[in-house]
Amino acid sequence: MQNLFDYIEGGDDLLEFLDDFPSVTHEAAIAVLEMAKKSVELRHKGLEVLHRELGSVGLVEFLRDMGLVQDDYTEWRKHQPQPDTMEETVWRIEVR
């Protein structure tokens, strides 16, 4: 699986990967990509639920406690305008 992701990250397409790894079938490679897509979709839905239940500051604290946010700026965030959506919350985390 990692080789497939490395190829795609490197700008290669699926056909190049399949040429270099003839033991991997097209169907198997597609199944891996579909599994990765579902994983991302589930993560997104999970973040939406956390945002709805915890609010923006609570979500940041949760992500920090899980080790997904490197620094602690929860106090600073309490004084900032509260984002309305989970996407806006994630954007604020990423641009900080």
Quick one: pLDDT at residue 27?
Answer: 96
Q: Quick count: other Cβ atoms within 10 Å of Cβ 33?
A: 15
Quick one: pLDDT at residue 15?
Answer: 95
- Domain coverage including residue 40: 2-95
Quick one: pLDDT at residue 85?
Answer: 78
Q: What is the full DSSP assignment across 9-55?
A: HTT--HHHHHHH-TTS-HHHHHHHHHHHHHHHHHHHHHHHHHHHHHH
The number of folded domains in the chain is 1
Quick one: pLDDT at residue 70?
Answer: 63
For the full predicted model, state whether its pTM sits above 0.75.
no
Residue 84 to residues 21, 50, 51, 81, 92, Cα–Cα distance (Å): 46, 13, 10, 9, 12
Residue-level pLDDT, tens digit, the chain, 96 residues: 899 999 999 999 999 999 999 999 999 999 999 999 999 898 888 888 888 888 887 887 888 888 777 655 556 666 666 767 778 777 767 665
